């Protein structure tokens, strides 16, 4: 029996990573596997991928503690589903189950307290006190939210470009490029494409077109990206907690990391609304955060 080892899992929508660390926090093994996001496939598929991950690290059983962070793992019913899976895989092992935002926060800040904001394909904001009290905003998925995300930006561009064509919105030159990117010839073909053919990823992939036109000062593109930045500032504003002493904010996701229009606008709105927050460069990864929280759980009496 090898005691003292803990594990952290960063469960993505396309792949998952599991890291094992010793009692001193040194990483001793890193393995990868399939997605463990409950909304990527069926729960039994997530269970299969978890089993495959743990089969690769059996020599470290029994674990002292662990942490699994994933999109689609922040709500009570989602945690209950995961717990039932883990009862057979790792009986009697204390495991923290949390959203991808929580492990990003811990890894990015290098500690369990502060603020995090993700804006990639989707969007979510999170705050966490030192003792584990969390607040979240957004994260409802593309049908109910994901404001300020790549999907939201592209979807706004599609529907508002059609409105503009009918002179019901700001003028724009985006429609032709959007149609071309979707391999469509006419604007009316957009109806069938969006409703019956395009995936969430297909729509989100159109977001860079909006940025290209915004750089060229297209009125509608600029308006959409400005609203995206405001939405993201609103998300982080909604999770402010006076109990939190560390006012650092870490951000992640393609929109906030790479978009040359949204990022500076977001920083401007952030300084206007929440001047006490300090935007920092990430100190570590989401997987680092899962390992940190697992080790913290393992040290709990």
Q: Which two tokens stand for residue 218?
A: 């297209």
Asked if 123 contacts 148 with a C-beta cutoff of 8 angstroms, the reply is yes
Distance, in Å, from the CA atom of 277 to the CA atom of 295, rounded to the nearest integer, reads 27
Between CA 289 and CA 286 the distance in angstroms is 5
How many whole angstroms separate alpha carbon 173 and alpha carbon 84?
Answer: 52
For the chain, the DSSP string reads ---S-EEEEEE-SS-EEEEEE-TTS-EEEEEEES---TTTS-HHHHHHHHHHHHHTTGGGPSPSEEEEEETT-SSHHHHHHHHHHHHHHSTT--EEEE-HHHHHHHHHHTSS-EEEEEESSSEEEEEE-TTS-EEEEE---TTT--TTSHHHHHHHHHHHHHHHHTTSS---S-HHHHHHHTT-SSTTHHHHIIIII--HHHHHTTHHHHHHHHHTT-HHHHHHHHHHHHHHHHHHHTT--TT----EEEEESHHHHH-TTHHHHHHHHHHHH-TT-EEE--SS-HHHHHHHHHHHHHT--
Quick check: do 6-110+283-298 and 150-280 share a fold? yes
Tokens of 202: 């297909």
CATH of domain 6-110+283-298: 3.30.420.40
Segments making up each domain of the chain, as ranges: 6-110+283-298, 150-280
Q: What pTM did the predictor assign? A: 0.87
- In whole angstroms, give the CA distance from residue 61 to residue 54: 9
Total residues found in the chain within this entry: 301
Helix H, strand E, coil C: the string for 3-33 is CCCEEEEEECCCCEEEEEECCCCCEEEEEEE
| CATH among 3.40.50.10540, 3.10.180.10, 3.30.420.40, 3.30.365.10 for 150-280 | 3.30.420.40
pLDDT per residue as tens, the chain (301 positions): 346 899 999 987 778 999 999 999 999 999 999 988 877 677 888 889 999 999 999 999 999 999 999 877 878 898 998 898 898 889 889 999 998 889 999 999 999 999 999 998 889 999 999 998 999 999 888 899 899 999 999 999 999 999 999 999 999 999 999 999 999 999 999 999 999 999 988 999 999 999 999 999 999 999 999 999 999 999 999 999 999 999 999 999 999 999 999 999 999 999 999 999 999 999 999 999 999 999 999 987 7
């Amino acid at each position: 029996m090898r005691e003292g080892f803990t594990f952290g899992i960063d469960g993505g929508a396309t792949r998952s990573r599991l890291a094992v660390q010793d009692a001193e926090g040194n990483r001793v093994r890193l393995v990868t596997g399939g997605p463990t996001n409950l909304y990527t496939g069926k729960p039994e598929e997530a269970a299969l991928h978890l089993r495959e991950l743990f089969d690769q690290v059996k020599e470290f059983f029994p674990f002292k503690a662990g942490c699994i962070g994933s999109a689609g793992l922040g709500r009570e019913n989602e945690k209950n589903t995961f717990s039932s899976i883990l009862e057979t895989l790792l009986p009697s092992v204390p495991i923290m189950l949390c959203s991808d935002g929580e492990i990003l926060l811990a890894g990015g800040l290098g500690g369990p307290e502060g603020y995090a904001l993700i804006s990639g394909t989707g969007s979510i904001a999170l705050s966490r006190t030192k003792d584990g009290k969390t607040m979240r905003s957004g994260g409802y998925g593309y049908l109910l939210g994901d404001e300020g995300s790549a999907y939201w930006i592209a979807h706004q561009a599609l529907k508002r470009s059609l409105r503009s064509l009918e002179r019901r919105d700001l003028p724009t030159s985006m429609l032709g490029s959007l149609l071309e990117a979707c391999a469509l010839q006419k604007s009316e073909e957009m109806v069938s494409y969006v409703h019956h053919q395009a995936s969430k990823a297909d729509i989100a992939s159109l977001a860079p077109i909006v940025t290209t036109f915004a750089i060229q000062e297209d009125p509608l593109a600029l308006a959409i990206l400005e609203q995206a930045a405001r939405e993201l500032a609103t998300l982080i504003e909604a999770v402010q907690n006076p109990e939190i002493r560390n006012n650092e904010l870490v951000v992640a996701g393609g929109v906030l990391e790479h978009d040359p229009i949204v990022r500076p606008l977001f920083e401007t709105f952030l300084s206007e609304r929440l001047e006490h927050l300090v935007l920092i460069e990430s100190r570590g990864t989401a997987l680092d955060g899962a390992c940190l929280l697992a080790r913290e759980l393992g040290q709990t009496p």
